[in-house]
Structure 1
Amino acid sequence: MTLPDLFIEHDQRQALNDEFHARPPVPLESPQLISYLAMHHAEDAPDAALQHLLALGKLLERPIDSDGRHSLIDFGSFQLKWELHNEFSSYTFFRKVSHGEGLDQPTSALAVVPEAWLRSMPGKLIVATHVELRSVAEITPESVMAKLSPTGNQMVGAKVADGAAWVFTDFLFEKGFSRFLIIDVSLTRRQAGRTVQRLVEIETYRLMALLAFPVAKDVGRTIGAAEQRLADLMDRTGSARNPEDERSVLADLTTMAAEIEHSVARTTFRFGAARAYHSLVMQRITELREQRISGLPTFHEFMERRLLPAMNTCVTMARRQEDLSSRVARNSQLLRTRVEVELERQNQELLAQMNRRAKLQLHLQETVEGLSVVAITYYASQLVQYLAKGVKHYIEPFTPEGITAVAIPVIAALVAVGTHRMRKHLAAAEGHS
């Protein structure tokens, strides 16, 4: 009975386990020539590298079965290990040679690869490396050390794999290729494969990490100018004399904040990738298990002296950029608070003016209501007088003038009470609304 018969299996369980075992080193025997190419494909279609690989299979009549991420193909005269990474695709060519072949007449694994296919590789070349895996019977460490000139370029070397091999390089480009020499003393096939894989990964991740260095220098120039701008804006903030000046400074700060955030968004990935690549470089160097060769710096020392300062620059620029963004945000918030306080003060003054106007309007309204009572009383009393004159023969001994005089206070009281009740009714209706 199998596990799927007992349990519901996660959809990605098998794929995750396959990925864990996906990129083992290729077992190698000396002598062997290895050429490694890495093509940066940021602007190319995602499947362009795979389609180019399939084209090589058709060209050499060797069908290729690939999952789209990695393949190891034996073409007879050479082997090709292809891997697709996030930012680049790598091609490692392995070519077996006979004892002593290529020592007098320099050659490489690329000599047997179709040149037209190499020329049409998608992407831009970022890493090109030749690795020679030679037995100690072909090249002795002493012969390599004897050729080192005390005034020449600095050579980097170390014993690796607990002394099972010697590795030499200068990390310089010769005809566009960096070069590594591995002298096999007692490597097993798998040790040889792991050593080659670690060396080409060190070279790859070293250059990929350094992609952030030009960005860091550009950011450094931008940050320097931005810091001066921020200082000038703070001086303007201190000398601002009215809200218009403060709003002008706030607008400039907002524009500056947008520019800095754009720079952060543009560089965050590159700086983060540089940290990750640098970590991988140092990890692969640790895995080499270096032993010092007298008179030569080890790989770890060379990277500490040459690569680490560039990486520290990238870290510093990223930190300065984040710090500048925070400072601009804080200053913007302080200035915005000043503007808001001033606006609140203006609003309070406006409310006080409105309150005074409302009181004045109330007094005017009360005055108008008083005049209205007088006017209504006057006209009502005239009506009473007209009525009294019309029936003056029936109201004797009372006269129209006497009746009008008696009616005036009664009319005034009724009008005043009616106006008061109307005002209370309107106020109650306004309160409910």
Structure 2
Amino acid sequence: MSLFEEHPLRRTLNDEVHARPPVALQPPERVAYLAFLHENGSADGEIAHLRLLAQQLGLAEPFDEAVHLMIEAPEFRLKWERHSEFSSYAFFRRDEATSLSENDALLSVPTTWRKAIPGRLIVASQVEARKADDEAAQAMLAHLSTDAASQIVSRISDGAGWVLTDFHLHDGFSRFTLLDVSLTPRQAGRTVQRLLEIETYRTMALLAFPVAKEVGRLVSQAETELADLMDSIGEARSSEDERKVLGRLTRLAADVERSVARTTYRFGAAAAYYRLVRQRIDELRELRVAGFSPIREFMERRLAPAMSTCETMSRRQEELSGRIARNSQLLRTRVDIELERQNQALLEQMNRRAKLQLRLQETVEGLSIVAITYYGSQLVNYLAKGAKDWITPLTPELVTAASIPVIAGLVFIGLRRMRRAVAAEAQGIEH
């Protein structure tokens, strides 16, 4: 391979498909999972915060370019991952205690360090993984709440395990129970990872739902205003009215485009997160348990309508933007046609003025011929008087009278040639 010039990203791209592997689990184990939204540059301080934890535990410090890592402490394991909008912290701990409070996977993590994690908490989940057979699982189901509608139970991995949850928050955490019937350690790790990703991506997708409600109000108001503006276009009686309507339409277009620019990323991200949720559910390979809803059914009943609302609002907003653009173009065309008509009338008026000016100029040219002939004849008269001894028997008056038609003819021919030359030059410029 040393004979070839290697692309600088070759190894990075190859390692990407192996990044973020699941953590193998040996039940009984407990997992505490926290996801923090990046806010005000909080992502920049995560590596420093993780380095502080490593120093407290006497472990190797992470390097600055890391986007995911594992910290192996004596009492727990931490898997950290940085994503585009959030970072996740998954704490794994062997379930060796007897009481629920002692089993919390976060108890071994330094409290001061936990409280100072950068970002804003968006997801908090706990997963309890325990060994069980089908009989133990059925016995656990019998002790669940009689309100089966609030319980989510399904068999996963073609019956190799059971998942129980209700997607409610208990003491600030959503809780999952994984019953390992015949899962391998890596299968158990992948299952926990999928459950945590379903919970995270579900929450991240729902960030668009309040935005969709706000956009819905804006779109409804804009659609009503657009209908009123279309009525105003039909009632416009002058170009001034049309220009006023165009101004209002332009303002409405700016408001809608501002909303589109502000919400496009959120709606696009929601659709991407929703696809990931459905993909992770498919990977669980669920089997229905009689009397209980599986995760897929819960998401189709609770999450899918919200995502449909977001998709509908996004589409309505885009369609409204397109309608406003078309109506603006129509009204702008009407205004342009009216302006062209006014310009044409102005040009016709200018043309009439030019013709009147030309006629006046021709009249002035006639007077100019008379004036030039008069001054020319006076010059001839002065010359004749000065040379009267050489022009005998002609008199100065006779010479002056005879020069008048000659001077007038020459002036007329000269002006006519000059007019033709100017006309030819103007015609050449037009072409």
The TM-score normalised by the length of structure 2 is 0.94
CA distance in 2, matches of 1:267, 1:181: 36
**In structure 2, what is the equivalent of residue 88 of structure 1?**
86
**In structure 1, what is the equivalent of residue 38 of structure 2?**
41
**In structure 1, what is the equivalent of residue 339 of structure 2?**
343
Moved more, 193-202 or 105-114: 105-114
Query: Residues 256 and 317 of structure 2 are in contact (CA less than 8 Å); yes or no, is this contact kept in structure 1?
Result: yes
Q: State which of 300, 306, 315 in structure 2 corresponds to 1:304.
A: 300
Q: CA RMSD in A?
A: 2.1
Amino acid aligned to 2:349: Q
Amino acid aligned to 2:40: E
1:212 aligns with 2:208: yes
Amino acid aligned to 2:202: R
CA distance in 2, matches of 1:394, 1:116: 131
User: After superposition, what is the alpha-carbon deviation per residue over 1:145-176, rounded to whole angstroms, capped at 9, x for unaligned?
Assistant: 12233347610110001111111000000011
Change (3 A) 1:213 1:102: farther
Q: What is the Cα deviation at residue 230 of structure 1?
A: 1.1
CA distance in 2, matches of 1:104, 1:128: 17
Amino acid aligned to 1:85: H
User: After superposition, what is the alpha-carbon deviation per residue over 1:320-345, rounded to whole angstroms, capped at 9, x for unaligned?
Assistant: 11001101110111111111111111
Query: Residues 80 and 90 of structure 2 are in contact (CA less than 8 Å); yes or no, is this contact kept in structure 1?
Result: yes
SS for the counterpart of 1:172 is: strand
**In structure 2, what is the equivalent of residue 166 of structure 1?**
162
User: After superposition, what is the alpha-carbon deviation per residue over 1:329-372, rounded to whole angstroms, capped at 9, x for unaligned?
Assistant: 10111111111111111111111111111111111111111111
CA distance in 1, matches of 2:387, 2:51: 125
**In structure 1, what is the equivalent of residue 233 of structure 2?**
237
Q: What is the Cα deviation at residue 302 of structure 1?
A: 0.5
Change (3 A) 1:378 1:31: same
Alignment of 1:2-401 (within 5 A): 3=1, 5-66=2-63, 67-98=65-96, 101-102=97-98, 107-136=103-132, 140-151=136-147, 154-385=150-381, 387-388=383-384, 398-401=394-397
Change (3 A) 1:383 1:15: closer
Query: Residues 131 and 196 of structure 1 are in contact (CA less than 8 Å); yes or no, is this contact kept in structure 2?
Result: yes
Amino acid aligned to 1:267: T
SS for the counterpart of 2:128 is: strand
SS for the counterpart of 1:341 is: helix
CA distance in 2, matches of 1:338, 1:349: 17
Moved more, 22-31 or 63-72: 63-72
Moved more, 314-323 or 107-116: 107-116
Q: What is the Cα deviation at residue 242 of structure 1?
A: 1.2
Query: Residues 64 and 73 of structure 1 are in contact (CA less than 8 Å); yes or no, is this contact kept in structure 2?
Result: no
Query: Residues 134 and 181 of structure 2 are in contact (CA less than 8 Å); yes or no, is this contact kept in structure 1?
Result: no
1:407 aligns with 2:403: yes
The TM-score normalised by the length of structure 1 is 0.93
Query: Residues 31 and 91 of structure 2 are in contact (CA less than 8 Å); yes or no, is this contact kept in structure 1?
Result: yes
CA distance in 2, matches of 1:243, 1:165: 74
Identity across the alignment (%): 58
Moved more, 55-64 or 351-360: 55-64
Query: Residues 140 and 183 of structure 1 are in contact (CA less than 8 Å); yes or no, is this contact kept in structure 2?
Result: no
Amino acid aligned to 2:83: H
Amino acid aligned to 2:52: A
Change (3 A) 1:217 1:352: same
SS for the counterpart of 2:318 is: helix
Moved more, 196-205 or 66-75: 66-75
CA distance in 2, matches of 1:173, 1:259: 38
Query: Residues 159 and 291 of structure 1 are in contact (CA less than 8 Å); yes or no, is this contact kept in structure 2?
Result: yes
Moved more, 23-32 or 381-390: 381-390
Query: How many aligned positions are there?
Result: 428
User: After superposition, what is the alpha-carbon deviation per residue over 1:2-41, rounded to whole angstroms, capped at 9, x for unaligned?
Assistant: x1x1211111111111111111111111100111110111
CA distance in 2, matches of 1:303, 1:314: 15
Query: Residues 93 and 110 of structure 1 are in contact (CA less than 8 Å); yes or no, is this contact kept in structure 2?
Result: yes
In structure 2, the gaps of 5 or more residues are: none
